[in-house]
Amino acid sequence: MNLRQIELLRAVVRCQTTVRAARELGLSQPAVSNAIRHLESQVGFPLFERINNRLFPTAEARALCQDSEPIFQLHAAFSAKLQDLRESRAGHLSIIATPPLGYGVVPTALRNFLARRPKVRVSFDVRRFENVVESVETGLAELGFVMGLGKDRDLDAETFFAGDMVAVMRPGHPLAGAGTVTPVDLREHPFIALEHGTRMGTILRTAFAAAGEPFRHAVEVRYCNTACVLARSGVGVAVVDPLSAAFCGHSDLVIRPFLPAATVTASVFRTRLRPISRLAEALLHEVRLVAAETAGRLGRTARAAPLFGEQIPPPNSV
């Protein structure tokens, strides 16, 4: 007895007539009647008593239906799982990001992503640039989010945001009323610098050199998020990427354009060795939406750039 025959038996037991069972199964009534007769011949004993055009299941038929219940429960669960996977509503996704994105764009996109997918489980970590690249290369994470990404033998990169670095400071700071902030403006004020050797730290030093200003700082930190915290505490003025400024959670920070313009990009990357999952594609859609909305809030200093496959100039590390 195969699964289709068991399904037919259960339908006739449930409906008690071949007409109703045929309607339920999408078959003709003669096809159901012939299938029942063939099934009884195959098993070697009656499955129904026929009284006044109705079929009453025998004890053997009821026992077979009862024992088949776990099979159809398993099939129903399997079908539901397949539907969830088709619509990206179930499964597991592993992602990793550097702090500028791991504390801003990605959490916001992840909130929107999970709101419609309660069965999805996500592993999410925030690490240094080198750890993010290694995790994607080794398959520990499917997607990596960083501020910029250079060409790599096994990685596909997409730029989803680009913007100019900005100066942040407490309200009441002497530079808070300025239209723009330049390296010359920072000459007389404590400056919170980004660490030498990082991509954005290198960009800042290049901007100071272009302005003919020596690069002097009161404090040096690795991450823009740390620089924003120190700026809010009154340590000094920091120059950070626009996403860190937008998502740092300190609404009382004053944000001003920094000149000369220093553009940074946000990218997502994956390995070329494996196809991307439907869940990862769905999350990327949410990331692009958040990036576009954030670019709109930041105005002309930022822009969303949903250009899959674009390779970014080589960074140092972020």
pLDDT per residue as tens digits for the range 36-68: 889 888 888 988 888 887 888 889 888 988 888
Report how far apart, in Å, the C-alpha atoms of 181 and of each of 125, 131, 140, 188, 204 are: 34, 33, 41, 12, 13
Pairing of strands 302-308, 155-164: antiparallel
266 close to 159: Cβ distance less than 8 angstroms? yes
Do the domain assignments include residue 143? Answer: yes
Q: Identify any residues that bridge with 303 across adjacent strands, giving them in sequence order.
A: 162
For the chain, list residues with pLDDT below 50. 306-318
Q: Which pLDDT value is given to residue 84?
A: 59
Do the domain assignments include residue 159? Answer: no
Cis before 190 (ω within 30): no
Both 43 and 178 in one domain: the answer is no
Do the domain assignments include residue 318? Answer: no
Both 149 and 171 in one domain: the answer is no
Q: Which pLDDT value is given to residue 313?
A: 35
SS3 content of the chain, % helix, strand, coil (to 5): 45, 25, 30
Do the domain assignments include residue 98? Answer: yes
234-265 pLDDT, tens per residue?
A: 999 999 999 999 898 767 899 999 999 988 88
Do the domain assignments include residue 68? Answer: yes
Both 223 and 138 in one domain: the answer is no
Q: Which pLDDT value is given to residue 85?
A: 62
Both 170 and 141 in one domain: the answer is no
145 close to 95: Cβ distance less than 8 angstroms? yes
What is the b/e burial string over 125-154, where b = at least 16 CB atoms within 10 angstroms of the residue's CB? ebbbbebbbebbbeeebbbbbbbbbeebee
Both 286 and 226 in one domain: the answer is no
In the block, residue with structure tokens 């088949």: 68
Both 80 and 134 in one domain: the answer is no
Order of strands across the sheet that contains 191-194:
219-221, 191-194, 237-240, 166-169, 254-257
Both 200 and 255 in one domain: the answer is yes
Contacts of 234 (CB under 8 A, 6+ apart): 170
Do the domain assignments include residue 124? Answer: yes
Distance CA 91, CA 189 (A): 51
Q: Identify any residues that bridge with 166 across adjacent strands, giving them in sequence order.
A: 240, 257
Here the CATH number for the domain that contains residue 117 is 3.40.190.10
Both 281 and 149 in one domain: the answer is yes
Q: How many residues does the chain have?
A: 318
Both 179 and 245 in one domain: the answer is yes
Both 23 and 96 in one domain: the answer is no
Domain range for 7 is: 3-85
Q: Which pLDDT value is given to residue 86?
A: 63
Q: Which pLDDT value is given to residue 318?
A: 40
Structure tokens at 45: 């004993």
Q: Which pLDDT value is given to residue 80?
A: 62
Domain count, the chain: 3
Both 179 and 200 in one domain: the answer is yes
Contacts of 277 (CB under 8 A, 6+ apart): 91, 93, 142
Distance CA 192, CA 235 (A): 8
Report how far apart, in Å, the C-alpha atoms of 142 and of each of 101, 292, 318 are: 16, 23, 19
Here the CATH number for the domain that contains residue 43 is 1.10.10.10
Three-state secondary-structure class, residue 161 = strand
Both 127 and 170 in one domain: the answer is no
Q: Which pLDDT value is given to residue 316?
A: 36
